[in-house]
Structure 1
């Protein structure tokens, strides 16, 4: 099977992490970008090295899918550790295992601690739980790959408490731009839904409270869906089975062809097949279809299960991001959720780099009243946020330039070299959050950066890497930036080292006074 370019890059990056001694690494690919294919190829590479591999998942469908894709893409067959099925005595080198089965002490004890050389965790955002940790700690010598579609740093920070690195990340905007996933249009429905009375459970809204809170609005939501999406193929996510069933009846009374599926549905496979074949045009479910189900023709997703968990939100929306003939975009319907807590996921969180940009995007979408392309909205929001930030930082920068310091404040350096990625950096992994090492502090000082303002090892690493790269490219040093910007020159970070040196030499030769004909505000380092 021919891998797409990003899939091959991901495969190589994962192998490199393990080769370099990083045992626990992550792969982040949006839903629909072939994560199972990538880890199947990684498994093939490890089996060729003579290794034994365990694929861990928390649901039977995911295990079946993994086994099926592995065989189709590599020819490798699997043994299973699931309920009464066991791999013990099997000669297959790959085992797919249900975490609920594998976590049991009696089951684990059938294996030596070093039995598996590599463990792949599908839907890795679940792996922080006790059940996964019990299995992972038992096979403590194995290399670990976690695979997830989680889209933002909030979830990544949780994963960073276990994983040591991010081997490869392919973002949703990149996948859409490259034509691998459907463009997304978001629309806010002008219904004020009150969630202020909804309680919390395990870091998210309590499903039972959500169901009750939604009930009074179901008729109005159905009416709005009929207004904006009656010709679309829709999946609706709801908090409770009874709410899902009730909403299905309401939708049918409006003229939709709606069906409902839940964990107890006897005819679930038939309903899903009928929906796939367009017998129904709306499918309601209570969080059943978040993982392991695909219907590429879905072109509208309605999230009526508000959540603060990015990975969950991403999974729901991911049911509609795949490409399909005749499908031009995915319409994502959002609502004016009225809650005292502001961490609620909105369409913006699928692609926004940070909360500041997400808020600006959400405001734009809410005020528009029509469906807007998420990428266009993000572009505008980024420009607005950067303009506001630059205005605030410019004032700070003026203050910094006046300080009689021998070393450059990192913020001044970042602004001068226009490094948005450095100034907005947030650590994700455990090692990144630790304080900078003594060696890092000494090197930063030597290179002219004030180390007191660098609060973690991740930022220090990024900064040192950037300084190295700038030296290779022949760009200005922090000390040159500080000297020239104190004298009123602007964006010195974009100049070459040689141009800055020539100007400093001219100033020195002129008794450290500004040479005639040089205007710092207009001078651009040519």
Structure 2
């Protein structure tokens, strides 16, 4: 019987965990990614795989993590095996399983034979494209690599295809909720009184400039606390916009409750484990943090998540990570209450897994950093008592997160949705067509008249076509790339397009004042497709 570090028996693998384990055991490639929503037990899956690797194959294995908590976490399921740790002053001694901090191991590689490790597990694998990870993975060049992540997208937009070759398993938040493995989400969007108008998205993080966010959100602590008092239920984690907001929100909650029910948690917080234990025991009701609990934290009793830091629509992966902190089931917990103070719940809670990222950016010469004088920033208005409003909330509404659903990454390709279902992309020399989804959501890809042998997930098709376009049809990018053809698309419909539409469908009504060239192009392709489909059915 397998037990954890407390001596309690470990429950058997669930059906989907068994399926993921089997995919790993039968994988013959070099590097694969497994995507599982927060709370689906990825640690349980890969520790069971490591047990199989050591006992059945006599392999030496390495677990890579980027935080201390994550280094120790998998060892709780491996009590029956000899394990070593590479972390700060702790050193491994060539044990069959080594759990290592990336930051510690990268400076100790010379003590290892490059052929010593047979299998590498990368926890929170969306970090794997970082230079420190790449150096370790390249050093152990004969090792098979498996990455696990709930968010297969990097904030900086860099793709994971530089590390992983395949996605061999994918179970997202929506699937987990529908199958009762995670708590359902009840989301309330609360709009506070702040203005993000001048805040820009940084190219290196794909998120808002955090210094600007801190300035814009300064003073919203009262609104966040008002939202907490009105709508929060049970143990609560608040994700604040800055360290100052962490301090102010914590102070206001404790002041209004006349007791220390809230605790501020930052990177500099001493005895963080003690605070988390107090929270688990119910001695602390609220944890207020800034960029601490976005991943690798297991606090299943959490019933309410308050998102009080703006998240750019280009970084929805962070949104999924934050909400994931409250999705684990817990006795007496009916659902996860999400209080969205920043409008992020208008976007899909998850996007389909893809290994493809943005084009690598050319390195720019570094400019010397200059300190800004305090008076160069916009001054924060300090309100006198008579100007303090009765409420800091502009408006609030419930959001059906499940209805918003999942987003797919089309990589800015100008796919034309077909009225009969599926997508079409005609360019000189080739036409790509994606079929209407089958009952399981998979689709067929047609390139001209040749069809793929088996159906695949839609996101995989989008990825493959995008790679094919970049490699073989770069000279036609002005046609297949949305952003490059945007100017042409937005111009008024041409006479030639009107004539062709009338020829294809004489009864089709066209509003020439409102129809653009892009609209007309989509209409023509749909009419042509319908005609071709009719011809092939007749034959």
- The residue aligned with 1:100 is 103
Aligned to 2:330, what secondary structure does the other structure show?
A: coil
Question: Does the C-alpha gap of structure 1 residues 40 and 392 become closer, same or farther in structure 2, counting only changes over 3 Å?
Answer: closer
Matched, 1:435 2:468: yes
3-state SS of paired residue (2:294): coil
CA shift, 1:352, in A, is: 5.5
Is the aligned partner of 1:129 residue 2:130? yes
Q: Is the 8 A contact 1:190 1:336 kept in 2?
A: yes
Alignment equivalent of 1:371, drawn from 388, 395, 398 = 398
What residue is the counterpart of 1:78 in the other structure? 83
Counterpart check, 1:330 vs 2:347 = no
Q: Within 5 Å, which residues of 2 pair with 1:102-501?
A: 102-104=105-107, 107-150=108-151, 158-198=159-199, 200-201=201-202, 202-203=204-205, 204-229=207-232, 231-255=233-257, 257-308=261-312, 309-336=315-342, 345-346=344-345, 348-351=347-350, 369-378=396-405, 393-394=418-419, 409-411=431-433, 414=435, 421=443, 425-426=458-459, 433-435=466-468, 486=531, 489=534
CA contact (8 A) 1:119 1:142 kept: yes
C-alpha change, 1:320 and 1:488, in structure 2 (3 Å) is closer
1:57 correspondence with 2:57: no
Structure 1 residues 327 and 437 mapped into 2: Cα distance closer, same or farther (>3 Å)? closer
Alpha-carbon spacing, 1:416–1:326, altered in 2? closer, same or farther (3 Å): closer
CA deviation vs aligned residue, 1:316-347 (integer Å, no higher than 9, x gap)? 2111000011111111122345xxxxxxx546
Kept in 2: contact 1:180–1:323 (CA 8 A): yes
How far apart in 2 are the matches of 1:212 and 1:416?
A: 46
Q: 2:23: which partner in 1?
A: 13
Q: CA RMSD in A?
A: 4.2
Q: 1:314 to 1:394 in 2, by over 3 A?
A: closer
Instruction: Indicate the SS of the match to 2:16.
Output: helix
Residues 432 and 129 of structure 1: CA distance in aligned 2, closer, same or farther (over 3 Å): farther
Match of 1:474 in 2: none
Whole-angstrom CA distance in 2 between matches of 1:332 and 1:192: 19
User: For residues 125-174 of structure 1, what are the alpha-carbon distances to aligned partners after superposition, in whole Å with 9 as ceiling and x for unaligned?
Assistant: 11111111111111111100111001669999722232100011112112
Contact 1:193 1:336 in 2 (8 A): no
1:68-91 C-alpha deviation (Å, 9 max, x unpaired): 2232xxx22311122232223x4x
For 2:237 and 2:462, locate their aligned partners in 1 and report how far apart those are by CA, in whole Å. 35
Residues 113 and 487 of structure 1: CA distance in aligned 2, closer, same or farther (over 3 Å): closer
What are structure 1's unaligned runs of at least 5 residues? 338-344, 355-366, 383-388, 442-452, 456-481, 493-499, 505-526
SS at match of 1:109: helix
**Aligned-partner Cα distance in 2 for 1:261–1:119:** 32
| Deviation at residue 15 of structure 1 after TM alignment | 2.1
Q: Does the 8 Å contact 1:26/1:165 carry over to 2?
A: yes
Change (3 A) 1:299 1:428: farther
SS in 2 for 1:61: helix
Moved more, 306-315 or 213-222: 306-315
Moved more, 123-132 or 326-335: 326-335
Distance across 1 between alignment mates of 2:470 and 2:228: 56
Give aligned pairs, total. Answer: 415
**Cα displacement string for residues 346-392 of structure 1 (whole angstroms, at most 9, x for unaligned residues):** 464324659xxxxxxxxxxxx9944344224539x99xxxxxx9996
Counterpart contact for 2:214–2:242, Cα < 8 Å = yes
Q: 1:250 to 1:390 in 2, by over 3 A?
A: same
TM-score computed with the length of structure 1 as normaliser: 0.68
What's the TM-score once normalised by structure 2's chain length? 0.67
- Cα deviation, residue 7, structure 1: 0.4
Give distance in 2, aligned partners of 1:484 and 1:240. Answer: 53
> Structure 2: which 5+ runs fail to align?
1-9, 354-393, 409-413, 446-456, 474-478, 482-526
Pick which of 423-432 and 301-310 moved more.
423-432
SS at match of 2:33: strand
